[in-house]
Structure 1
């Protein structure tokens, strides 16, 4: 029966994709160098891994419509993290333990076998059940669900069925996973399990969460945890839901951030520092990392947010959402996570233009050939006496559209202003960026996105933008004084 159900679901998916193909491909807001769904809905990256030399990126996929619905796993592969090839749908919710979706999970190399673990979601008469399930592949394209599924058939006592998103890794011959959870008192938690064989799992304990280990009430659900080692420390990426905004912090509907510390693998206890947001922009969620064969910890995330579909203009053309660019993670001595675009992205660069030592004083300045809608831009500013300076991108000739990146020297704050960015949500996001002498802004602009890496990845802003196609101007500005644009370099990206 499940094979018939699988065929029915796959046929419906591929038919939906084919019906939307022309409309999707003719949408100006279709990105040029980011991962997107072929049609329909994309959200969390799943199963991110380099296996046998090939990068695999799976994702939460609802192919029927540009809205959150029944979740499949879509699948892309890449040799270089730049050029991605669409593969057949990897997982279809055809079994009894996943009737309402194949939810998020991760991938591992189990002695040469590409193995996925994910959450099967079931809702019967409004009652949710969550099942953790195992899948293997002999060729990296076709996937077989384990006859022993589910391998974890229920949440521990004291927890609700909001129990999902297993992230699996191996340490000293033992498999471990962290999983997002919610107590019956509606406190978000991360739990740690262990296994000898990926099929039989034992709960070790609570890692971290709301009202635990120095954290106060910190959200009613924690999802998509990812725990890994950088240097001598463990880093836990996690998504707390239910945080109230605090000034410049926690301004999106849900948060994505990290904790740094030491994990006790015997008890599960995580001795950690403060929670820090991963990204300061409008559109960033559900980050997942992998350790590649060069030894790099690489992160990719959903460049979108849940429950806010109306803010994404591409929805009217049969698709919605995209992934961020892949980023290499480094941990500074002060436990600050640094994010840098993978160097492979330099392969996209064409037609280099640069300027040096440009003085800007109480003015807006345009530089010949520094413009565009699919570009990479690196600008290094030497701070002088200007109270504010920065860059305006995607500018309309009549001034009606612009996206403003501004550094406030008095408050040492960097901001991204979308109030005149075109369609979509307006607003401003800010963060502290301490610097007395130099500010370096590294921008990746695509037709409907902006990713800003500030001061070599110390802070990052990821956001979707929906200006008119004609709005391609770039301006540099200083207010109440002077700043020197020490160097600016721009490439078209292809």
Structure 2
């Protein structure tokens, strides 16, 4: 099928399923979702001519991972989003099994997309091509075909180009797997966006004092933040270790210094960006305000993916809320963009609430789409717990110096947990949507992100404590 035919077929799929999809009580109120089918990685995140563009990996034909399209949302304010025409469909020989993840830049007033063309033969053997497409208006794109072919020394797991400019040179990082089955991040340079020079691996498994660290590194993003060079990356193949690496695949960062002349990157240890269940493939951009902004896929590819209840209504997965990144030493801090405050309505406020027992409710503190802000939290006891609509529970133990988020497993309903160490929980900023939760701890020093599926009728939020806990609380409904 040519591009036009593929796009028409996808549009028909959207229309045919619209009523069923929109009837789902778990459709989110203030997060980006696919109109039908499966959404995964954020792609091509950019502010272009004053408008924010977020593309996304999209399979419109089923709720499983197949030949991906690039879906496309735009917004001027992070509140009102418009679903644009499909940007890329897998119609050409070099992308016939999927227009995989990539990025966007602006050059000479045009938007330029870089993405991975995925090809599989009848035996399932993979080929990979790094491709380019150009647009005058940011809506319709002309494909230019492959600009990078697979170099020697790497398997065909070679993808997810992220491009930026430093002085008068363009640079690209790619996620890769070398022939020893070690995950790597590879650096290229170009002066014209068409001809690219391989500068070599920047870092990866068995490099830079890391030791073995995953068989594939996906979705790299390298940028300067407050004077340091930060590498976001999603390594696959890390085994659980204490409190960390408990999802099937991880997403995190290194803080260091990139030597452009030597194409070397000296960095510290790897830190997970999010401590919850559903956070992967983050991508950033800088906007006109100078903010380093991030979206991530609020999902993960694992064995339980196919048990999510939204599949019955023809769709699966969503994006996280947009976040602003700052750096405190070696720590990356995430906070929700301030524009989200425009969603607030029906404020309820409490000062010096005291919880000394279990299952306490507060009048006006309930709902299925709301924002909670806990401040000035003081503990005289062991633990503090918040139960969200009977479907997710956040707990902090001052005795253990640990916090955790629990939810019901999608497959069998058992309770599963994600946790991490923390000195004290002084502030909590919580965004609850119909089937998601994002908890920003201590102004975003740690974040827990998860999908969860409570009883639709249950809008209660309860508080429990061992000992006495006191806090100030504000709640807003989010429309």
Whole-angstrom distance in 2 between the partners of 1:69 and 1:18: 20
* Partner residue, 1:213: 208
Of the three residues 395, 408, 413, the one matched with 2:402 is: 413
* Partner residue, 1:398: none
Structure 1 residues 425 and 79, CA gap change in structure 2 (3 angstroms): farther
Q: Secondary structure at the match of 2:147?
A: coil
Of the three residues 268, 271, 280, the one matched with 2:266 is: 271
Whole-angstrom distance in 2 between the partners of 1:74 and 1:192: 27
Whole-angstrom distance in 1 between the partners of 2:454 and 2:355: 26
* Partner residue, 1:346: 341
Whole-angstrom distance in 1 between the partners of 2:174 and 2:476: 41
* Partner residue, 1:459: 446
Of the three residues 69, 75, 78, the one matched with 1:78 is: 75
CA-to-aligned-CA distance 1:292-316 (integer Å, 9 cap, x gap): 1100000000000014422421011
CA-to-aligned-CA distance 1:252-283 (integer Å, 9 cap, x gap): 01000000000111222110000000000000
Q: Secondary structure at the match of 1:365?
A: coil
Q: Is the 8 A contact 1:403 1:420 kept in 2?
A: no
Of the three residues 119, 125, 128, the one matched with 2:126 is: 128
Alignment of 1:48-447 (within 5 A): 48-125=45-122, 126-146=124-144, 149-154=145-150, 156-308=151-303, 309-333=305-329, 335-394=330-389, 401-419=390-408, 426-435=415-424, 439-447=426-434
Name the count of aligned residue pairs.
477
Aligned-residue offset at 1:327: 0.2
Q: Is the 8 A contact 2:335 2:443 kept in 1?
A: yes
Q: Secondary structure at the match of 1:17?
A: helix
Whole-angstrom distance in 1 between the partners of 2:266 and 2:409: 43
Whole-angstrom distance in 2 between the partners of 1:6 and 1:310: 29
Of the three residues 19, 24, 46, the one matched with 1:22 is: 19
CA-to-aligned-CA distance 1:345-391 (integer Å, 9 cap, x gap): 00000000010012211333211111011000011253332100131
Q: Is the 8 A contact 1:45 1:300 kept in 2?
A: yes
Of the three residues 469, 473, 479, the one matched with 1:488 is: 473
Whole-angstrom distance in 2 between the partners of 1:76 and 1:113: 18
Whole-angstrom distance in 1 between the partners of 2:125 and 2:407: 40
Q: Is the 8 A contact 2:37 2:315 kept in 1?
A: yes
Aligned-residue offset at 1:393: 1.1
Whole-angstrom distance in 1 between the partners of 2:293 and 2:320: 12
Aligned-residue offset at 1:422: 11
Q: Is the 8 A contact 1:205 1:267 kept in 2?
A: no
Q: Secondary structure at the match of 1:315?
A: helix
Of the three residues 434, 458, 461, the one matched with 1:471 is: 458
Q: Is the 8 A contact 1:403 1:421 kept in 2?
A: no
Whole-angstrom distance in 2 between the partners of 1:132 and 1:200: 12
Could you say what the CA RMSD is over the residues aligned between the two structures, in angstroms? Answer: 1.4
* Partner residue, 1:33: 30
Aligned-residue offset at 1:41: 0.7
Whole-angstrom distance in 2 between the partners of 1:467 and 1:425: 14
Aligned-residue offset at 1:424: 6.5
Whole-angstrom distance in 2 between the partners of 1:384 and 1:150: 58
TM-score, reference length from structure 1 = 0.94
Q: Is the 8 A contact 1:262 1:272 kept in 2?
A: yes
Structure 1 residues 256 and 345, CA gap change in structure 2 (3 angstroms): same
Q: Is the 8 A contact 1:101 1:122 kept in 2?
A: yes
Whole-angstrom distance in 2 between the partners of 1:445 and 1:423: 23
Q: Is the 8 A contact 2:438 2:450 kept in 1?
A: yes
TM-score, reference length from structure 2 = 0.97
